[in-house]
């Protein structure tokens, strides 16, 4: 018996989980500040279409979707040899203090300068967007960053993953999720036949590292969100998987705890969003890996359904 199996046995968790149908309970549209101010008829149509799509997801026969068996080994946690680095990652992204502070939804007042900036970003192509992020000095994080972390992956991917913000390794290397949490994320993706260099795009809400990995500030999120929004608009993914409480609450403009955001198909700019745990949290809480797998299966169902309707 390997160490993982022994560990799970000690915790009383069987090595094999019985596949369960991922719950789809509701559809919620992220109320963007501007959407609240100027709700367009097209938005309403999008929400209605999403509700319909979610209804169909609900009725997907489990035999229609080839769901791999839900096993503890669907994605491996990095080896214990990296324990110190794992502890650091967990410490950085998963402290009780961070967990206690909800991501504050940004309801920014409209002002001409900000609106002009947002509109300019919303019209950028990939090279202009990347250059704009690389040279951005619109919040204080530019003073402490080593590199901006734009995003990585296939710019035409059907899957997009959104994390919170770069950590130390990401800041040094300029790529999202390259530390221990990133290794776990890669394993999660591999379990779905996905890889960052092939068929998925990974980005963060923030493109610069908050010093000491503190929680992002609302104004930092407000300045950075237009970049993410443009990335999403250019990629047009079929599903967005949001990693962790902070990214989920920021993107969905919500203070709802992550446990309640999971299991529901939300939308961001008309694109289905599935929320799951942050890989750094999963490094510590192995018992929630099965829930994370359920979330990924839900995302895959949403995507399969979208493909079937296309």
The binding site for ligand URA (CB under 6 A) comprises: 93, 163-167, 170, 176-177, 181, 204
In the complex with ligand URA, the residue whose CB is nearer, 19 or 174, is 174
**Residue (of 123, 107, 143, 95) closest to 221 by Cα position:** 107
Q: Which residues, at least 6 apart from 156, have a Cβ–Cβ distance to it below 8 Å?
A: 235
Nearest distance from C-beta of residue 76 to ligand URA, angstroms: 18
In the complex with ligand URA, the residue whose CB is nearer, 163 or 272, is 163
Nearest distance from C-beta of residue 245 to ligand URA, angstroms: 11
Coil, strand or helix: which one is 275?
strand
In the complex with ligand URA, the residue whose CB is nearer, 165 or 302, is 165
Nearest distance from C-beta of residue 127 to ligand URA, angstroms: 22
State the residue number with the nearest CB to ligand URA: 163
Nearest distance from C-beta of residue 164 to ligand URA, angstroms: 3
Rounded Cα–Cα distance for residues 250 and 214 (Å): 15
In the complex with ligand URA, the residue whose CB is nearer, 118 or 227, is 227
Q: What angle do CA 114, 155, 182 make, to 5 degrees?
A: 90
Residue 72: CA count within 13 A, CB half-sphere = 17
Nearest distance from C-beta of residue 298 to ligand URA, angstroms: 20
Backbone region of residue 46 per phi and psi (left: phi > 0; alpha: psi in -120 to 50; beta: other values): alpha
Rg (CA), the chain: 19
In the complex with ligand URA, the residue whose CB is nearer, 13 or 92, is 92
Q: What angle do CA 121, 123, 126 make, to 5 degrees?
A: 80
């Amino acid at each position: 018996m390997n160490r993982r199996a022994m560990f799970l046995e000690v915790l009383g968790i069987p090595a094999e989980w019985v596949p369960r149908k991922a719950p789809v309970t509701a559809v919620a549209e992220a109320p963007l500040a501007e959407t609240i101010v100027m709700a367009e008829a097209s938005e309403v149509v999008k929400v209605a279409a999403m509700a319909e799509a979610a209804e169909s997801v609900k009725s997907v026969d489990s035999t229609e979707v080839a769901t791999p068996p839900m096993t503890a080994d669907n994605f491996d946690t990095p080896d214990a040899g990296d324990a110190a680095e794992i502890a650091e990652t967990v410490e950085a992204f998963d402290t009780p203090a961070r967990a206690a502070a909800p991501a504050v939804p940004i309801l920014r007042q409209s002002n001409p300068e900000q609106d002009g900036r947002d509109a300019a970003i919303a019209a950028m192509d990939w090279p202009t967007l990347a250059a704009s992020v690389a040279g951005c000095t619109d919040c204080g994080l530019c003073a402490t960053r080593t590199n901006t972390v734009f995003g990585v992956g296939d710019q035409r991917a059907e899957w997009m993953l959104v994390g919170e913000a770069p950590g130390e390794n990401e800041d040094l290397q300029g790529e999202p999720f390259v530390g221990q949490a990133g290794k776990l994320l890669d394993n999660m993706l591999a379990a779905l036949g996905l890889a960052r260099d092939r068929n998925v795009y990974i980005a963060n809400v923030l493109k610069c590292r908050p010093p000491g990995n503190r929680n992002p500030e609302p104004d930092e999120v407000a300045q950075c969100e237009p970049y993410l929004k443009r990335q999403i608009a250019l990629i047009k993914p079929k599903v967005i998987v949001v990693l962790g409480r902070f990214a989920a609450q920021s993107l969905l403009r919500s203070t709802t705890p992550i446990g309640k955001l999971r299991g529901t198909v939300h939308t961001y700019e008309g694109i289905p969003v599935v929320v799951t745990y942050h890989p750094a949290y999963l490094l510590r809480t192995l018992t929630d890996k099965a829930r994370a797998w359920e979330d990924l299966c839900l995302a895959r169902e949403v995507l399969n359904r979208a493909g079937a309707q296309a």
